[in-house]
Structure 1
Amino acid sequence: MHILLTGGTGLIGKHLCPFLLNHHKVTVLTRNPIQAAVLLTHQVVAVKSLDEVDFEQIDAIINLAGEPIVNKRWSDSQKRELLDSRIKLTQQITKKINRCNSPPHTFISGSAIGFYGRQGDCKIDESFNDIYPEFSHVLCRDWEHAATKAESEKTRVCLLRTGVVLSKHGGALDKMLPAFKFGLGGPIGHGKQGISWIHIDDMIQLILFVLSHQDICGPINATAPNPVDNNEFSQTLGSVISRPAMLRMPAWVLKLMMGEMSDLLLHGQFVIPDKLLKHNYRFHYPELKPALESLRL
Structure 2
Amino acid sequence: MADTSPTRRIVIAGGSGFLGLSLAQHLHENNFEVVILSRNTPRSEGPWTHVAWDGRSLGNWKSCLDGAYGMVNLAGRTVDCIKTPDHQDEILRSRVESTRVLGQALRAIDQPPPVWVQMGTAHIFGDPPEAICTEQSAIGVGLAPDVAMAWEEEFAKARLPSQRGIVLRTSFVVGRDRGAGGGALDRLSLLTRLGLGGRIGTGKQGFSWIHELDLNRLFQRALIQESMHGVYIASAPNPVSQIEFMRALREAMGIRFGLPAFAWMVRLGAPLLLRTDPNLALYGRYVRSDKLREEGFAFQFPDVGPALQDITRSLS
| CA displacement at 1:233 relative to structure 2 | 0.9
Q: Is the 8 A contact 2:210 2:234 kept in 1?
A: yes
Deviation digits for residues 158-212 of structure 1 (CA, Å, limit 9, x no counterpart): 1111111112321111101112123221011000000000111111111111111
| CA displacement at 1:14 relative to structure 2 | 0.5
Counterpart CA distance in 1 for 2:101 and 2:10 is 17
| CA displacement at 1:264 relative to structure 2 | 2.1
Structure 2 unmatched ranges of 5 or more = 1-7
Residue aligning to 1:118: 127
Counterpart CA distance in 1 for 2:189 and 2:43 is 29
| CA displacement at 1:104 relative to structure 2 | 2.0
Q: Does 1:176 align with 2:188?
A: yes
| CA displacement at 1:220 relative to structure 2 | 1.2
Deviation digits for residues 31-81 of structure 1 (CA, Å, limit 9, x no counterpart): 23xx3395234x4252336522234423311001211111x3110001111
Counterpart CA distance in 2 for 1:215 and 1:180 is 42
Q: Does 1:244 align with 2:249?
A: no
Residue aligning to 1:74: 83
Q: Is the 8 A contact 2:238 2:288 kept in 1?
A: yes
Deviation digits for residues 86-109 of structure 1 (CA, Å, limit 9, x no counterpart): 111111112222455643211111
Residue aligning to 2:147: 139
Residue aligning to 2:5: none
Q: TM-score, normalised by structure 1?
A: 0.91
Matched position secondary structure for 2:203 = coil
| CA displacement at 1:224 relative to structure 2 | 0.4
Q: How high is the sequence identity, in percent, across the aligned residues?
A: 29
| CA displacement at 1:238 relative to structure 2 | 1.4
Residue aligning to 1:30: 38
Counterpart CA distance in 1 for 2:277 and 2:149 is 18
Supply the AA of the counterpart residue of 2:86: S
Supply the AA of the counterpart residue of 2:74: L
Residue aligning to 1:292: 308
Question: In the TM superposition, what are the counterparts of 1:187-226 in structure 2 within 5 Å?
Answer: 187-226=199-238
Counterpart CA distance in 2 for 1:21 and 1:234 is 33
Counterpart CA distance in 1 for 2:257 and 2:156 is 42
Q: TM-score, normalised by structure 2?
A: 0.86
Q: Is the 8 A contact 2:173 2:211 kept in 1?
A: yes
Residue aligning to 2:298: 282
Residue aligning to 2:287: 271
C-alpha change, 1:183 and 1:36, in structure 2 (3 Å) is: closer
Q: Does 1:94 align with 2:103?
A: yes
| CA displacement at 1:24 relative to structure 2 | 2.6
Counterpart CA distance in 2 for 1:258 and 1:267 is 13
Q: Is the 8 A contact 2:99 2:158 kept in 1?
A: no
| CA displacement at 1:294 relative to structure 2 | 0.7
Residue aligning to 1:39: 45
Counterpart CA distance in 1 for 2:123 and 2:20 is 20
Counterpart CA distance in 2 for 1:222 and 1:278 is 14
Counterpart CA distance in 2 for 1:91 and 1:77 is 20
Counterpart CA distance in 1 for 2:34 and 2:248 is 38
